[in-house]
Amino acid sequence: MSLQIKNVLLFALLSASPALLGQPYFLDGEDPKPSGQSWQAVERLSDDFEDGDLDLEKWSIVPTDNGWSWIGRAPGIFLPENVSESDGKLKVTVSDLPSPLTINGNTYLYQGAIVRSWTTGGPGMYFEAKMKANATEMSSTFWLKPKPTCEKNLELDIQECVGLTSALTHSWAKDWDQIYHSNAWHHKSNCGPSVATSRPKKMVPPTPNHERYYVYGLWWKSETELLFFLDGEHVYTINPSVDFDMQSYIVMAIETYDWNPVPSDGGKIVSGSLEERTTSYEWVRVWQLSDTISVSAGSDQTVILPENSVQLSATVSDPSAVTSYQWTQISGPSSATLSGANSSSLLANYLVEGNYQFQLSVTDTNNELVVDTVNVAVRPNSIPSINSFKLPYGERNTAYSQSLDVTEGEQPLTWTLIGGNLPAGLNFSNGVISGTPTETASAQLTVRVEDNNGDQDQQDLRLRIVENLPGGNLSFTPTEDAYIEGSNPLNNNLIKIEDGRRVAYLKFNVSGIDGSVDRARLSMKVSTDGGNGTIRFYEGSHDSWTETSLTNANKPATGRQIGSISGQFNVGSTYHVELTEHIQSDGIYSIVVMMDNGGNDAWFSSKEGASAPLLTIESSQAIDTFSLWSDLQFAGLSGGSSHPSAAFNASYQSGELANALIYAYDVDPGESKLITPHLPKLSPTELSFVLPNEIPEDLSVRIEVATTLHSGNSWNTHYERSSNGSWPAPVSVSDNGNGTSTIRLSRGTDDQCFYRLRFTQAAE
C-alpha cells in the first residue's frame, strides 16, 4: 500500500516521519518525480539518528578524514567532540575554546564541527534535511561538495544561514538569521576559472531559522537544473554557470564568518544556553528515482480473532534483481513476533486487537532500497466460532447430552449435521447432541453453525459410545467463600456482587480427577435479591487466604478472565459459567468474581446458605486408553466387542474380506491371552494403523506377515514393539499429538497379503 500525505496542516506534516512513509517530504502536488518512476531511499546517505550512536560508517566527524584538509575558518575551528547523537537527533554544539589555539598562523577562539558523508551522491538524486539552526553568530548549513579537480572546484549550498546577526554584520547579510539561502559555486582552480562564479537564490521563511525545524530540500534534476524546496514546497530553481556533474559528499559545517564577526565578548557563543548553542538535524535523507523494480507488500488485510497470525507476501517486478528482503513492524501493538523477516514472505504471529503497519524493504542489485507498507487490522470475532473440539465419551443404554459451545455470531444460530451419522438413539438439535445410545460406536461427525448474517463455522468431532464408562462427575462446594464491600470483608450466607463495591472470592479444593477434564462448570443460585449486568470470573493470584481472614490487604488480585455470564439474574434461578479451560487437574483454585460498571447488584447463596456454589467436573475420559481403543475397533463387527477374534473370524470366513485387503486373522478365537484385532486402515501400498501411546507393560505388540493362512505357523515374518514404544526398521512411527501414534509398514511382495497386529499378554 502506498501512502500519500493529503490535505493536512503544515505542523502535522513537520511532525510526521517521511521515512515511515517511504517517500521524500513533499506537500500535496509538489512531488516533481516523472510519471512512471518512484523515489527509492539511498540508505548509504540517509540517517534518522534514532539509535543514540552516530553511525561513523556513514559520517566522518574528523575534519582531515578522507583526504580533506579544511579544519575551519578562523576564529572557529572544527573539533569532533562537538558532535553527538541523542534524542533522535544529530547535534553540533558550539562554544568558546578554553584557551586560544594557533595553527598554521591562524588563531582559533571558538569551536564548532564539520560532519561529512563517507559516500557520494549526484545528479538525479533528491537531498533533504530537517534542521533547526543554532541561535549564535555561527552558521548552520547543509550542502554538497565534490573533491575538486584541476578544472572544477564546485560547491552546492542547499541551506546556509547564521543564528544571530549584529551591528557588526556586513550590510548584505543582515537578514541571514531568517533566510533560506542556496547557491551553486564554481570556485577558482588551477586549470579552471581565475575568479569564482556563483548563482545565489534566497527567500524569507516564516520565522528565524533557530526558532523551529525546517525541511530543506534539493532535487539535483540534472547537471544544469537545480530545484530547491522548503517544507516540501518548490521555492526556486538555480541554473548553474557550469555543468554540475560531479559526485558530491554531504557536508554539515558549523563555522564562523568574517562577514558576521563574533563580538569581542564572544556573543551568544559564550552566553547562550546549551539549546541556543546547538544545531540539530532530525534527519538527513537522500532519494533516487528508479524504475528498475517495483515492490508491493500486498493488500491491506483484516484478521478476525481468535486467529492471531497473518501471512504477508512481497510482489516484485523482477525477483532476480533482489539481493535482500527485510520486513519490520513500524506501528501497532508490540505483541507480534515475525518469522521470515528476511524473506519474501512474512508470518506475523501473536497479534492482538489493534492496527498494525508492516514495512517491506527490498534492496536490488544496484544497491537501491525500495520500500512499501501494508496495514493489518485485527478485530474481535463477530463470526460464529465453534469452540467444542472434543466430545465426552458416552455409555451404551445411558442418557447422553452434550451442548456444543459457540462464541460470537448474531442470533439466532442454526445448527446442522453435515457429515457422518450419529450413533443409534442419539439426535442433534439446536447445538445439542442428546438421547440414549443403544449401541457401541465410534462416529466421525461434522457440524456447522450459521448465524443470522449468514456467517458460518464448522467443526469435525468424534463421538465414542462404549459399553462401560468408568469415571463420572465430581462435585465440589467452596472450602472458602466471602466478599468484600468497600473495605469491609463479609462472611455470611450470601455472596453479594456489585459493580465497583462488592467483589466475591471463592476457593475450591479439587481432587479425584483421573484423566483429562471434559467439562468444568460453576453453578451459583440467586438467593434474595436479583440483579442484571455482566459478571466476570478471574483467576485469583494466590490461594493463601481464608474466608475469616480475608481483607483488602491479602485478597487475591485478578489474573486472566476465565469466564463470564450476562443478563438478568432472577431470585431462585441458578446460573452457570464454563471453566473447563481453567480447571484441568487436581489442585486448589481461587476465583475472583466482579460485576461490570453499570450493573445492578445480585445476591447469590454462599456455602453457608441454602444452595452453595457448586463446581461440577465431568471426567469421563478416565479410561484405560488401550482397553478403550481395543473396544472401539470391534464395535461395528458382528459378535460385539467382547469377542473381537470371533467377530473377525466370522467376517473372514463369510468371504466379506478379499485377500487383497490388509487384515488380521486368529486361528483360535478361544485363546483368552491373545488379541488379534482387525486393522482399521487399509492401503494397497502400506499397512497403517493407530495405537495409543500408553500400552500396558504386560502386553507385547508385534506386526506379523504371512503369505498363506493354511496353518498356524504361516506368520513367518514379524516386527516387535520395544518397551519404549519404538519399532524396528522398516516400521515407522509418527506421533499424532493426541495420545496416539500412527504406525506404518510398506507392503512387501505381492504374495504378502496377510498382516495382523498381535498383542500377547504375559501369563499371570
H-type alpha helices, 445-546: none
Name 104's Cβ contacts closer than 8 Å, sequence gap at least 6.
Answer: none
Q: Which three cell numbers stand for residue 425?
A: 438413539
- Secondary structure (3-state) at 338: strand
Is 155 among the catalytic positions? Answer: yes
The values of phi and psi at residue 511, to 5°, are -150, 160
Q: Which three cell numbers stand for residue 367?
A: 544497491
573-576: list long-range contacts, CB under 8 Å, 24+ apart.
573/525, 573/526, 574/523, 574/524, 574/525, 574/526, 574/611, 575/523, 575/524, 575/525, 575/526, 576/521, 576/522, 576/523
Distances (CA, A) of 13 to 32, 216, 330, 755: 18, 14, 18, 76
The values of phi and psi at residue 212, to 5°, are -155, 170
Q: What whole-number distance in Å separates Cα of residue 527 and Cα of residue 497?
A: 12
Q: What whole-number distance in Å separates Cα of residue 183 and Cα of residue 201?
A: 6
Nearest to 128 by CA among 4, 38, 292, 14: 14
Q: What whole-number distance in Å separates Cα of residue 655 and Cα of residue 676?
A: 18
Name 419's Cβ contacts closer than 8 Å, sequence gap at least 6.
Answer: 444, 445, 446, 460
CB atoms within 10 A of CB 763: 6
Going by their DSSP bridges, the two strands 301-304 and 369-379 should be labelled as parallel
Q: Is residue 267 within a helix (H) or strand (E), and if so which, with residue range?
A: helix 267-271
Return the beta strands (E) in 498-586 as ranges: 502-510, 519-529, 531-540, 558-569, 574-578
Q: Which amino acid is at 572?
A: G
667 DSSP assignment: S
- Secondary structure (3-state) at 268: helix
Handedness of CA 748, 751, 757, 761 (dihedral sign): negative
Q: What whole-number distance in Å separates Cα of residue 309 and Cα of residue 339?
A: 11
- 85, 128, 137, 160: the active-site residue: 160
- 128, 155, 498, 578: the active-site residue: 155
Torsion angle (degrees, nearest 10) of CA 391, 396, 398, 401: 20
721 DSSP assignment: -
User: Left (φ > 0), alpha (ψ -120 to 50) or beta: where does 266 sit?
Assistant: left
Q: What whole-number distance in Å separates Cα of residue 398 and Cα of residue 540?
A: 37
CB atoms within 10 A of CB 532: 16
Is 368 among the catalytic positions? Answer: no
Do 720 and 728 touch, CB atoms closer than 8 A?
yes
Handedness of CA 464, 465, 466, 469 (dihedral sign): positive
Q: Say which residue the cell 501512502 belongs to.
A: 3
So which residues are the catalytic ones?
A: 155, 160
